């Protein structure tokens, strides 16, 4: 412990004890305050802070019960929950002192003390106080950061009537625990909706766990979602909790739920019905408490009629449905989104603030945006990086010609899989086989594109 740092308070009704402690400890700390009357504690703590408080356990004449010490220990922690309190006690009060430690005291010293013991106790207590302060400051910073990020509909922008309906539904259902199904094309912001439901829910202080169901292979499904015990399979070297257990108490977001094969749908349904998971390799069920939010870009109701998605599972996950409109159906939101992304990327890439011309904005509003808001976001990011001008012109944005696109689609049949296969081939060709760029162009994640490549044998 560094000399001449810290401030301590000693409360004891014995003036000799106070004098001895003050003379010794002032050699090692910056300030030593002493008081005989514990009634002064509230006033002292209101007007000052102390790194360590030394507190006697008995004050009334002849008292040996230690009840006064317990009373004032509670009062101190009521005023300052991070206070570090060391009890001063007689030899016969050790049992009481141990009980007090269980109730929040940090340590105790016996009267008469040995100076080395007192100094060692003080050093440990001051280090503990410093750790508590740092932890408190870290929590405060994280809480403030979360508050800044978690403003209602943060990064979720729209003034169109379609988006206002979405916002209204979110505000109505967020504070309930009903299961939500979010429907919408790729890039419309389904995960943003899920996170907003979590932020506005009573579970906001708990975890939000997101799982891309399309990226979880059938062989790893149970391990990833339900967990496993050591030895359950070859690579299971330790016990591991699944996503349901980890998310318990909070919100579990299952993205791309429509891509889940039927056998796995049955396993998921069982968990949702029983509200229990059993780790792979174990027979012991674990109760889970999650708020479930699912999302898909697939026509899930049609899939039910085609026996590709279980109707009973759909009933479980869609107590309330939220339909996210594609960007082409809310073009009045494009100017807001453009301003938002310009601000973000000019700051990110240390570029001068850029503005957009009326002609450029008109071009953006006329484009169909198959990748929706995600595609617009990447287009703005690319333009900010590539443009040397403070003004973004139409030439800073490159889109396929609508006429060519419509002509090609007219020549093709209306088989959705064939159309998707053709679009993927075109995107890969355009980007020289670069998966990341092709996925971005298609409004997909890399994982989703890899699945489609495997599906179509590309």
CATH of the domain at 414: 1.10.8.60
Residue 366 shares a structural domain with residue 310: no
Crossing angle of helices 435-442 and 372-386, rounded to 10°: 120
Residue 190 shares a structural domain with residue 132: no
Is the distance from CB of 433 to CB of 424 less than 8 angstroms?
Answer: no
In this predicted structure, what is the pLDDT of residue 404? 42
Of the pLDDT bands very low, low, confident and very high (cuts 50, 70, 90), residue 103 is confident
At 127, list the tokens. 């280090």
Please tell me the distance from the alpha carbon of residue 292 to that of residue 199, in angstroms, as a whole number: 14
Residue 184 shares a structural domain with residue 280: yes
Quick check: is 30 in a domain? yes
Determine the average pLDDT of the residues in 253-277. Answer: 94
In this predicted structure, what is the pLDDT of residue 146? 54
- What order of strands is seen across the sheet that includes strand 291-296? 208-212, 251-255, 291-296, 180-183, 320-323
Task: State how many domains the chain has.
Answer: 3
Please tell me the distance from the alpha carbon of residue 263 to that of residue 282, in angstroms, as a whole number: 20
In this predicted structure, what is the pLDDT of residue 458? 64
Quick check: is 275 in a domain? yes
Of the pLDDT bands very low, low, confident and very high (cuts 50, 70, 90), residue 145 is low
Is the distance from CB of 288 to CB of 275 less than 8 angstroms?
Answer: yes
Quick check: is 153 in a domain? no
Please tell me the distance from the alpha carbon of residue 46 to that of residue 44, in angstroms, as a whole number: 5
Reply yes or no: is the peptide bond before residue 416 cis, omega within 30 of 0: no
Residue 273 shares a structural domain with residue 167: yes
Residue 295 shares a structural domain with residue 177: yes
Quick check: is 155 in a domain? no
At 180, list the tokens. 């939500």
In this predicted structure, what is the pLDDT of residue 422? 78
How many CA atoms lie less than 13 Å away from 210 in the CB half-sphere? 11
Crossing angle of helices 372-386 and 334-348, rounded to 10°: 40
Nearest Cα to 274, choosing from 288, 263, 264?
288
The string of pLDDT tens digits covering residues 390-430 is 999 998 998 765 444 444 544 455 567 777 777 887 887 77
What is the rounded average pLDDT for all residues in the chain?
Answer: 85
Residue 293 shares a structural domain with residue 336: no
Residue 27 shares a structural domain with residue 110: yes
Quick check: is 1 in a domain? no
Determine the average pLDDT of the residues in 29-33. Answer: 92
In this predicted structure, what is the pLDDT of residue 457? 63
Residue 445 shares a structural domain with residue 340: yes
Q: Is the pLDDT of residue 218 over 70?
A: yes
Q: Nearest 5 degrees, angle CA 223-CA 227-CA 232? A: 70
Of the pLDDT bands very low, low, confident and very high (cuts 50, 70, 90), residue 182 is very high
In this predicted structure, what is the pLDDT of residue 141? 57
Of the pLDDT bands very low, low, confident and very high (cuts 50, 70, 90), residue 102 is confident
Highest mean pLDDT among 105-109, 184-188, 432-436: 184-188
Q: Is the pLDDT of residue 231 over 50?
A: yes
Q: Name the residue with higher pLDDT: 401 or 97.
A: 97
In this predicted structure, what is the pLDDT of residue 442? 86
**What share of the chain in percent tops pLDDT 90?**
51
In this predicted structure, what is the pLDDT of residue 33? 93
Residue 290 shares a structural domain with residue 188: yes
Q: Is the pLDDT of residue 154 over 80?
A: no
Number of H helices, E strands in the chain: 19, 16
In this predicted structure, what is the pLDDT of residue 423? 82
Please tell me the distance from the alpha carbon of residue 58 to that of residue 69, in angstroms, as a whole number: 6
Dihedral in degrees, nearest 10, Cα atoms 78, 80, 86, 91: -10
- If phi > 0 it is left, if psi is from -120 to 50 it is alpha, else beta; for residue 167 that is alpha
* Domain end position, chosen among 261, 292, 325: 325
Of the pLDDT bands very low, low, confident and very high (cuts 50, 70, 90), residue 108 is confident
Query: How far is the first Cα of the chain from the last one, in angstroms, to the nearest whole number?
Result: 66
Of the pLDDT bands very low, low, confident and very high (cuts 50, 70, 90), residue 295 is very high
Reply yes or no: is the peptide bond before residue 364 cis, omega within 30 of 0: no
Please tell me the distance from the alpha carbon of residue 423 to that of residue 146, in angstroms, as a whole number: 40
* Domain end position, chosen among 85, 112, 144: 144
* CB atoms near residue 293 (< 10 Å): 29
Residue 261 shares a structural domain with residue 395: no
Quick check: is 16 in a domain? yes
Residue 187 shares a structural domain with residue 293: yes
Please tell me the distance from the alpha carbon of residue 59 to that of residue 65, in angstroms, as a whole number: 10
Please tell me the distance from the alpha carbon of residue 199 to that of residue 192, in angstroms, as a whole number: 10
Is the distance from CB of 251 to CB of 194 less than 8 angstroms?
Answer: yes
Residue 169 sits in a domain whose CATH number is: 3.40.50.300
pTM of the entire structure?
0.58
How many CA atoms lie less than 13 Å away from 288 in the CB half-sphere? 29
* Domain end position, chosen among 325, 359, 380: 325
Please tell me the distance from the alpha carbon of residue 174 to that of residue 156, in angstroms, as a whole number: 15
Please tell me the distance from the alpha carbon of residue 342 to that of residue 356, in angstroms, as a whole number: 9
Residue 11 sits in a domain whose CATH number is: 3.40.50.2300
Q: Is the pLDDT of residue 140 over 70?
A: no
Quick check: is 441 in a domain? yes
In this predicted structure, what is the pLDDT of residue 64? 66
In this predicted structure, what is the pLDDT of residue 234? 80
Residue 271 shares a structural domain with residue 378: no
Quick check: is 95 in a domain? yes
**Domain region containing 444:** 328-456
Is the distance from CB of 168 to CB of 355 less than 8 angstroms?
Answer: no
DSSP alpha helices (H): ranges in 367-434?
372-386, 402-411, 416-430
DSSP secondary structure code for residue 407 in this structure: H
The string of pLDDT tens digits covering residues 300-341 is 999 999 999 999 999 999 999 999 999 999 999 999 999 999
């Amino acid at each position: 412990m560094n000399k001449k740092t810290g401030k301590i308070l000693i409360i004891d009704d014995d003036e000799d004890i106070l004098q001895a402690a003050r003379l010794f400890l002032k050699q090692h700390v910056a300030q030593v305050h002493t008081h005989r009357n514990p009634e002064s504690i509230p006033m002292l703590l209101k007007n000052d802070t102390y790194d360590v408080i030394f507190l006697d356990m008995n004050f009334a004449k002849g008292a040996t019960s230690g009840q006064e010490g317990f009373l004032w220990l509670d009062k101190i922690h009521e005023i300052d929950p991070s206070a570090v309190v060391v009890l001063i006690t007689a030899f016969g009060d050790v049992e009481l002192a141990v009980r007090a430690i269980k109730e929040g005291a940090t340590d105790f010293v016996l009267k008469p003390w040995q100076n080395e013991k007192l100094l060692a106790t003080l050093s440990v207590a001051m280090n503990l106080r410093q750790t508590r302060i740092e932890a408190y400051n870290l929590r405060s910073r994280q809480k403030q950061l979360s508050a800044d990020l978690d403003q209602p509909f943060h990064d979720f922008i729209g003034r169109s009537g379609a988006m206002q309906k979405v916002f209204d539904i979110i505000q109505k259902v967020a504070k309930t625990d009903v299961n939500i199904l979010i429907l919408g094309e790729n890039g419309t912001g389904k995960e943003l909706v899920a996170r907003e439901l979590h932020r506005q829910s009573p579970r906001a202080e708990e975890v939000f766990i997101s799982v891309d169901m399309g990226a979880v292979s059938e062989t790893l499904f149970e391990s990833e979602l339900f967990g496993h015990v050591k030895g359950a399979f070859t690579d299971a070297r330790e016990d591991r909790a699944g996503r349901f257990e980890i998310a318990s108490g909070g919100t579990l977001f299952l993205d791309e739920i429509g891509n889940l094969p039927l056998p796995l749908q049955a396993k998921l349904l069982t968990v949702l019905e029983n509200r229990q998971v059993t780790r792979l390799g174990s027979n012991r069920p674990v109760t889970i408490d999650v708020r479930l939010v699912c999302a898909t870009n697939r026509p899930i109701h049609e899939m039910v009629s085609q026996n590709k998605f279980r109707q009973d599972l759909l009933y479980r996950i869609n107590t309330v449905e939220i339909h996210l409109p594609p960007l082409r159906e809310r073009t009045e939101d494009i100017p807001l989104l453009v301003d938002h992304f310009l601000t973000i990327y000019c700051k990110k890439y240390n570029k001068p603030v850029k503005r957009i011309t009326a002609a450029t904005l008109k071009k953006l509003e006329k484009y169909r945006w198959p990748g929706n808001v995600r595609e617009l976001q990447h287009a703005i990011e690319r333009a900010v990086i590539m443009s040397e001008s403070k003004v973004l012109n139409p030439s800073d944005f490159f889109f396929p010609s609508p006429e060519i696109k419509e002509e090609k689609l007219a020549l093709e049949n209306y088989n959705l899989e064939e159309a998707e296969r053709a679009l993927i081939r075109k995107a890969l060709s355009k980007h020289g086989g670069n998966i990341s760029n092709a996925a971005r162009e298609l409004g997909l994640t890399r994982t989703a594109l890899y699945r489609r490549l495997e599906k179509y044998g590309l």
